[in-house]
Structure 1
Amino acid sequence: MTETLYIHPETPQPRLIRQAVEVIRGGGLIAYPTDTTYALGCGIGEKNALDRLIRLRQLDKKHEFTLLCHDLSALAIYAKVDNPDYRLLKAHTPGPYTFILQGTTEVPRRLMHPKKRTIGIRVPDHAICQALLAEHGEPIMTSTCHLPNDEFPLTDPQDVRDFLDHHVDLVIDGGFCGTVETTVISLSQGEGPEVVREGAGPIDAIY
């Protein structure tokens, strides 16, 4: 049976955050709330957890994964970004955006697009996410909690517990989330921002 931790969405309990991070560091797969929808997450180098996530979501080999980051300091390690693009990221993080960038050699190949060598970078505006990342000390590999054949991602913590029981090692119940995923902006071509998916983040301020 999957463990559940009830963590306050605005003032996360440090003891429970440490428990959740122990699961991530132990190679586990977790479900947790964000500033958009619920998401699935694991350690960057945890192949078994990633394989479980891929099977759960039935993702193909071309799926582009995202690194959930505490702030933009991780950019220098995991992504290549020009100054104009950095200013754009800085203006829209933390928030409901995912930015597609060229990945560096620090990103495991299995997380990047096989041909484009790109990776998503996301800085969430959510206290539980920020507490997890601060405790973990490095980014978390993340993917929307959107199950096959479902029209919308999971947003109700009861549904998350019910549908993911025995499929993940831990569910963080942080209350209800939204149903709209992040806005995805590609900066990988060096030709300015390209809207890949319009979502929770307004796009009028991107251009």
Structure 2
Amino acid sequence: MRLYLHSDNPEPRLVKQLVEKLKGGSLLVLPTDTVYAFVTLAQNKDSIAQIQRIKDLPKHKALTLYCRDFSQMSTYVRTQGNQLFRFMKDILPGPYTLIFDAAKSLPHYAVTKQNTVGIRIVEHPLIAALLAQLDLPLMGSSLDLPPEDMHDFEEIADRYESRVDAVVECGPVSGAYSTILDVRTWPPTLIREGLGAVPEGLPEA
């Protein structure tokens, strides 16, 4: 199934359709502010396992939790004080993935063996519209394609629509991965440089 939504103002009827699919356990391919990603609700264990099968990932390989805002994020991670919060307010929402120690509220299949989780607060109208209607965060992982191949929606749909419940277009994606920062210690550690500008002076892993 392919769906085409307005890039700036996703149609409420189609957003609701996607919300119902997610609540029913569906796995979707959605655009983000970086690349296309496999996305499901964080509670959908079977769909998370399907992402791992499609990408040939080992269990406990890190997936990303997409949160609506800082309040929702705080339910699922152990944060480290006001200095980190001020830092996050400066860069989010935006093209960053932040690595946290996971809170006990996350199921075991959603975290790594080190009990960490990657968090994103995405600056994209469709992701925002979906999260506004969902009580739980989304969980996902970028498609197993190089970033330069993320621009051809029809080719992406041809490749994946038989393995997911819907492939959705909602404007172009940037075609660059997010910048990954480990924020478990201060200052954060740069894990991967991507679309998000790297603050000066951060140590690298």
2:135 corresponds to? 137
| Mapped contact 1:156–1:175 kept (Cα < 8 A) | no
Match of 1:14 among 9, 12, 15: 12
TM-aligned CA deviation for residue 206 of structure 1: 7.4
| Mapped contact 1:145–1:153 kept (Cα < 8 A) | no
- Distance in 1 between residues matched to 2:158 and 2:69, nearest whole Å: 32
TM-aligned CA deviation for residue 55 of structure 1: 0.6
TM-aligned CA deviation for residue 157 of structure 1: 1.3
Normalised to the residue count of structure 2, the TM-score between the two structures is 0.92
1:73-116 deviation per Cα after TM superposition (whole angstroms, max 9, x unaligned): 112210011122122111111000010001101111111111x2
2:174 matched to 1:175? no
CA distance 1:130–1:206, shift in 2 (3 Å): farther
- Distance in 1 between residues matched to 2:129 and 2:200, nearest whole Å: 28
Q: Taking every aligned residue pair, what percent have the same amino acid on both sides?
A: 31
TM-aligned CA deviation for residue 203 of structure 1: 0.2
TM-aligned CA deviation for residue 62 of structure 1: 4.5
Q: Mark the runs of 5 or more structure 1 residues left unpaired by the alignment.
A: none
2:186 matched to 1:187? no
2:36 corresponds to? 38
| Mapped contact 1:67–1:142 kept (Cα < 8 A) | yes
- Distance in 2 between residues matched to 1:206 and 1:79, nearest whole Å: 25
| Mapped contact 2:66–2:119 kept (Cα < 8 A) | yes
- Distance in 1 between residues matched to 2:164 and 2:94, nearest whole Å: 26
TM-aligned CA deviation for residue 151 of structure 1: 6.9
- Distance in 1 between residues matched to 2:198 and 2:147, nearest whole Å: 23
| Mapped contact 1:193–1:206 kept (Cα < 8 A) | no
- Distance in 1 between residues matched to 2:20 and 2:60, nearest whole Å: 30
SS in 2 for 1:124: coil
- Distance in 1 between residues matched to 2:175 and 2:201, nearest whole Å: 22
Q: How many residues align?
A: 201
1:114-142 deviation per Cα after TM superposition (whole angstroms, max 9, x unaligned): 1x211111001111110011112321002
- Distance in 2 between residues matched to 1:119 and 1:205, nearest whole Å: 24
1:110 corresponds to? 109
| Mapped contact 1:9–1:126 kept (Cα < 8 A) | no
2:156 corresponds to? 160
- Distance in 2 between residues matched to 1:143 and 1:206, nearest whole Å: 28
